[in-house]
């Protein structure tokens, strides 16, 4: 199967003018700061003036000393900071004293759940680093990467963020970093999905998920960017009415030059058919419409329906070093409380984040009229997002618990929580606490021919 055959041209008339768009590169003086004043991926290495954000140490690569961990087999994460205690707990009684460092959605959670919602704040920890090969790629990208096709695509090299020193007026550079951080090149997850009503009743879903990321594949790191970003398969195991349904998808790098392709196997008809559209605000399985396909990881897929704006950097309390919530000893009946997840399992830190906002274009349709993302400066992952409807009313607050996965020497998206501020319900997504295995990362046992319609047919028999 050839990569280029899977990408078909779209939006030609709209995007023909992309050749002259935002071609500025980082200066040699700024590039020299990477690995010095800046971390190798562009974060400010120093702490803040108050000492509430520590300097970057980067003292650990992979498994820290004293941690017993077997990589690539799905062992649950082990917390290297298990003896840490919160230095501050923000609650319904004191949140207004800290609102400068809270998102609008976090403030709304305190207003809706003043007696139970809390943000436990821990001392900041910036101890993990990326492999040297990733840092080398990022430095090359800083010198050579350019946006193309109105910011939908970019030139550069695989294996690291393309714009470690983004320009303040180029939000598409920040979005590209969110979409293309260094992460696992193969993954297998067996995840539960809990749709928790406002009364605490849980409707359960479950999926088996696996994927292959070409842009992070060790054979391709440092090579010029390909057309295809990744392949994936999601198979539903719960609820029983959807059991056996499976979808294979192929993700392009540049949505001006290609589209996301997907095929679905329906167990009722026992047939595989190509989906005419896969993404945007299509409801995500088992979430009762509280998640859209493009809100997984807060934002994914084509950015075409929104006009994007960079709102600069802020210091915000976000989940970080989230090991505790993913422990194999965590039970769902303790974690999944009415209204929101149990704060006792959460760890927040004060972090510098990029604030990126997307506003729905007049000629497009989407469930969300505005989405504001908070992207961790250290990792380039979107960690918190506030979603607004088409009347510009805040309707959802979501966050992802990221942790540094020793298997891949980078940060992994763990369990996430999407709160419907209208109904008071929420979804716990990507739960694996009660599974026998956590995510199996970088086992390296996948090839492109596992992600075709023919492979989907074989998988379904």
In a domain, 167, yes or no: no
Strand partners, 359: 307, 370
Measured between alpha carbons, how far is 161 from 309 in angstroms, rounded to an integer? 19
* Long-range Cβ contact pairs of 54-60 (< 8 A, separation 24 or more): 54/123, 54/124, 54/125, 54/126, 55/126, 56/126, 56/378, 57/126, 57/127, 58/126, 58/127, 58/128, 58/129, 59/127, 59/129, 60/127, 60/128, 60/129
Q: What is the pLDDT of residues 415-449, one digit of tens each?
A: 999 999 999 999 999 999 999 999 999 999 999 99
Count structural domains, the chain.
Answer: 1
Looking at residue 54, its pLDDT comes to 98
Scanning 156-313, the segments in alpha helix (DSSP H) are 171-179
CATH assignment at residue 274:
2.50.20.10
Q: Any idea which residue has 């679905």 for tokens?
A: 264
In a domain, 170, yes or no: no
In a domain, 323, yes or no: yes
Measured between alpha carbons, how far is 311 from 370 in angstroms, rounded to an integer? 14
In a domain, 215, yes or no: yes
Looking at residue 95, its pLDDT comes to 98
DSSP conformation letters of 413-455: EEEEEEEETTTS-EEEEEE-TTSSS--EES-----GGGSSHHH
> The pTM is what?
0.94
Q: pLDDT truncated to tens, each residue of the chain (461 aa)?
A: 333 333 333 333 333 333 345 456 899 999 999 999 999 999 999 999 999 999 999 999 999 999 999 999 999 999 999 999 999 999 999 999 999 999 999 999 999 999 999 999 999 999 999 999 999 999 999 999 999 999 999 999 999 999 999 998 999 999 999 999 999 999 999 999 999 999 999 999 999 999 999 999 999 999 999 999 999 999 999 999 999 999 999 999 999 999 999 999 999 999 999 999 999 999 998 898 999 999 999 999 999 999 999 999 999 999 999 999 999 999 999 999 999 999 999 999 999 999 999 999 999 999 999 999 999 999 999 999 999 999 999 999 999 999 999 999 999 999 999 999 999 999 999 999 999 999 999 999 999 999 999 999 887 66
Q: What percent of the chain has pLDDT over 90?
A: 92
Looking at residue 1, its pLDDT comes to 34
Please name the residues in contact with 38: beta carbons below 8 A apart, sequence gap of 6 or more: 44, 45, 164, 165
In a domain, 261, yes or no: yes
- In this structure, what DSSP letter does residue 389 have? -
In a domain, 266, yes or no: yes
In a domain, 132, yes or no: no
The residue range of the domain holding 79 is 4-20+75-125+190-459
Judge if the upstream peptide bond of residue 239 is cis by omega within 30 degrees of 0: yes
In a domain, 229, yes or no: yes
The answer to whether residues 211 and 447 touch, using CB atoms and an 8 Å cutoff, is no
> Which of 182, 195, 46 is CA-nearest to residue 126?
46
């Amino acid at each position: 199967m050839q990569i280029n055959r899977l990408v078909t041209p779209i939006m030609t008339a709209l995007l023909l003018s992309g050749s002259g768009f935002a071609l500025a590169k980082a200066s040699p003086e700024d590039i020299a700061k990477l690995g010095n004043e800046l971390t190798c991926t562009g974060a400010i290495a120093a702490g803040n003036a108050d000492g509430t954000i520590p300097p970057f140490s980067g003292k650990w690569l992979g498994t820290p000393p004293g941690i017993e961990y077997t990589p690539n087999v799905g062992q649950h994460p082990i917390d290297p900071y298990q003896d840490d205690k919160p230095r501050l707990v923000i609650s319904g009684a004191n949140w207004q004293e800290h609102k400068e460092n809270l998102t609008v959605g976090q403030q709304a959670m305190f207003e809706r759940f003043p007696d139970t919602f809390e943000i436990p704040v821990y001392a900041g920890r910036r101890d993990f680093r990326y492999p040297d090969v990733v840092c080398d790629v990022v430095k090359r990208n800083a010198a050579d990467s350019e946006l193309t096709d109105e910011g939908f695509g970019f030139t550069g090299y695989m294996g690291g963020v393309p714009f470690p020193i983004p320009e303040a007026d180029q939000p598409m550079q920040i979005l590209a970093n969110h979409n293309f951080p260094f992460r696992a090149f193969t993954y297998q997850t067996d995840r539960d999905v809990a749709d928790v009503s406002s009364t605490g009743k849980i409707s359960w879903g479950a999926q088996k998920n696996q994927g292959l990321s070409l842009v992070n594949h060790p054979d391709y790191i440092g090579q010029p960017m390909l057309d295809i970003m990744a392949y994936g398969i999601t198979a539903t195991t719960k609820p029983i009415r959807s059991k056996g349904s499976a979808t294979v998808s192929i993700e392009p790098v540049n949505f001006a030059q290609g589209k996301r392709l997907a095929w679905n196997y329906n167990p009722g008809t026992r047939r595989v058919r190509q989906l005419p559209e896969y993404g945007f605000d299509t409801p995500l399985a088992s979430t009762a419409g509280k998640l859209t396909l493009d809100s997984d990881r807060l934002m994914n897929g084509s950015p075409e329906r929104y006009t994007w704006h960079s709102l600069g950097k802020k210091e915000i309390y976000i989940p970080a070093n989230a090991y505790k919530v993913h422990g194999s000893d965590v039970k769902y009946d303790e974690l999944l409380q009415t209204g929101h997840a149990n704060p006792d399992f959460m760890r927040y830190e004060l972090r510098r984040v990029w604030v990126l906002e997307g506003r729905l274009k007049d000629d497009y349709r989407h469930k969300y009229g505005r989405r504001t993302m908070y992207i961790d400066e250290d990792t380039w992952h979107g960690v918190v997002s506030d979603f607004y409807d088409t009347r510009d009313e805040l309707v959802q607050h979501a966050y992802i618990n990221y942790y540094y996965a020793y298997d891949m020497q980078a940060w992994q998206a763990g369990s996430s929580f999407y709160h419907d501020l209208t109904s008071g319900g929420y979804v716990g997504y990507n739960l694996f606490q009660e599974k026998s295995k956590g995510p199996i990362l970088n086992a390296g046992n996948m090839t492109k021919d596992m992600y075709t319609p023919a492979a989907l047919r074989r998988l379904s028999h």
